[in-house]
Amino acid sequence: MIGVDDRLVTPGTMKWVRVGLIAGLASIPTTIVLYYVLGMAVDAAWAEGDLSKSFNLVNQFLPWMILLVVLKAVLAWTFRTGQFRASSEAKLNVRDRIYKQVVRLGPGILGKRRTGEISNTATEGVEYLDYYFGVYFVQIWVAIAIPFFLCTALFIIDPIVGWWMLAGLPLTPLFVGSSARGFRRISAKNEDVKNHNSAQYLDSIQGMSTLKMFNQELRRGKQMEADSELQRQTTMKLLLVAQLQFIPLELGFALFSTAVAAAVSLFRFSNGFMTPGEVVACVLLSLEFSRTLLLIGVFFFAGAMGREVAKSVLEFLDEAAPVRSAENAHPGEKDGQAVTIELEGVSFTYPGAEVPAIRNLTMSLNPNETVALIGKSGSGKTTVTNLLLRTLDPDSGTIRFNGVDSEELTLEWLRQQIALVPQDPFLFYGTIADNLRMAKLDATDEELMQVIAGAELKDFIDASPDGLDTKVGDQGMALSGGQAQRLAIARALLKDAPVVVLDEPTSQIDVETEALLHRALERLCAGKAVLLIAHRLSTIEQADRIVVMDEGAVAEAGTREELLAQGGIYASMIQTKQEIEQAAALKPAAAV
């Protein structure tokens, strides 16, 4: 059963499930005894005949009835507490596991998924587990046990009434089960539609500037309106199925069972087979049968909704992580020491792709050396970065850090050795200081200002009234593209790792700032291994070596002079760049 998968529950969850189950089961005989004592009081009053004496006899039973009512209330409170404590424990555990799985899968794989769908599953979707553990998981066992207890009590009071009540009991699960398949199909579709709409909504907010720039906000709005209408329709279908179940259950089986109990009990009383108190007890017990019938309907739907969420969660947790962890993984050399990286025969293909992103890649990165990695879009440059950071593992080949296979090194140590400035840096909501201190939690303001100056961001900080406490906005929206890029560079510089990976570092920086950035890199990356991924040829002119990639493989490699002498891809790129510059220089002269 999906609901008892170890990944969905914790020992705390099962503890509270047991508490709720014991309280729920204990409440059944407590209710039976309460109704039986009430029946005895009725019989005592009926037999006495004198009203005043009858009250005196009833008063003798009153303390027991009060005690049983209080006990029933305590058990009901414990039952509900156990249910919802179990559900809250489960929800916290599942959200934690989803986050850990997101970390395990890493950006290399998650980049192929929609963030909004994962977010919706971890938030709204997990809320449905509340129904699963708070309604279904405990109540199903209580609902199964109630008929056995009640039938036993009714057979003791009067076997004929017991047989009549038992005869109609199987009708409810048969009726509910008849529509189970259709309900599961609709609930699964409803979950898919909700995940899709959540992802669409998140995309629309994050891409609002693009929508407005292309005048597409109205078209997008109509599309989201249509998606919302589809979700409304699927939700209404779920409600329709629910109502088709609950109306017959509540108005049919539930009332019918009470009516049958009352009719049969009165018939038996009129023929002298039952006392008035036994009639009262049987009718009251029949109401508990009604509660069982309603519980069956409730936990069925709650279980169906919770199962769909549990199924999607487990499918996500079952997704294999792209990174292998060795049992004997260990830290490498002490932090701060120079690091040499070697890639030998490395190949990698993304899941579901037919063409490898990286094919038989062999290259090295040495201390005090800048290696430029260039190539057209889709040639595999960013995949190399993910392989170095071990957010992906190669299908074949070896990546070594100072001669040690990367799979033998702990991920924590390995990632401490690399400072990354991605092409599109992500800034968290908060201040500039908050985002910088992600690289070094105990960094002083003086250290922050030093790296800010190194990233040519000091003028901006000095001009901002709040200085280091300037808010960057959601995803850095309060900053310009160039400022966000330089803040990410400052964050990487603060990390002071022996290896620096710059993925298109000048993609959002003007020419003047780019020149300043080159001087900052020479000053702050001295003695380090620098991997520079770039499209702009001016950015890589000072690199010690250049590696040109084409369709996931190394097409050529060497110094700038060596590649120009070869007359290959790099030389062709330089020639094209020079022709464009010459054509641009001739345009003003031609106009004159």
Is the pLDDT reported for residue 547 higher than 70? Answer: yes
Whether the CB-CB separation of 548 and 585 falls below 8 Å is answered with no
CA distances to 289, 293, 296 from 175, in Å: 16, 11, 10
Q: Which of 155-164, 325-334, 487-496, 565-574 has the lowest mean pLDDT?
A: 325-334
Sequence-ordered alpha helix ranges (H) in 442-568: 445-454, 458-463, 481-495, 511-524, 560-566
All domains of the chain in start order, with CATH: 2-318 (1.20.1560.10), 335-417+498-509+525-560 (3.40.50.300), 424-496 (3.40.50.300)
Amino acid at 332: G
Distance CA 145, CA 112 (A): 48
At residue 583 the predicted structure's pLDDT band, cuts being 50, 70 and 90, is confident
pLDDT, mean over the chain:
76
Higher pLDDT, 360 or 47: 360
At residue 591 the predicted structure's pLDDT band, cuts being 50, 70 and 90, is very low
Is the pLDDT reported for residue 325 higher than 80? Answer: no
Is the pLDDT reported for residue 592 higher than 50? Answer: no
Distance CA 98, CA 104 (A): 10
Distance CA 479, CA 473 (A): 8
Burial class of residue 545 (count of CB atoms within 10 Å of its CB; 0-12, 13-18, 19+): buried
Question: Which whole number is the average pLDDT over 267-282?
Answer: 84
Residue 498 CA, chain-centre distance (Å), reads 34
Is the pLDDT reported for residue 2 higher than 50? Answer: no
Which pLDDT score, from 0 to 100, does residue 347 have?
93
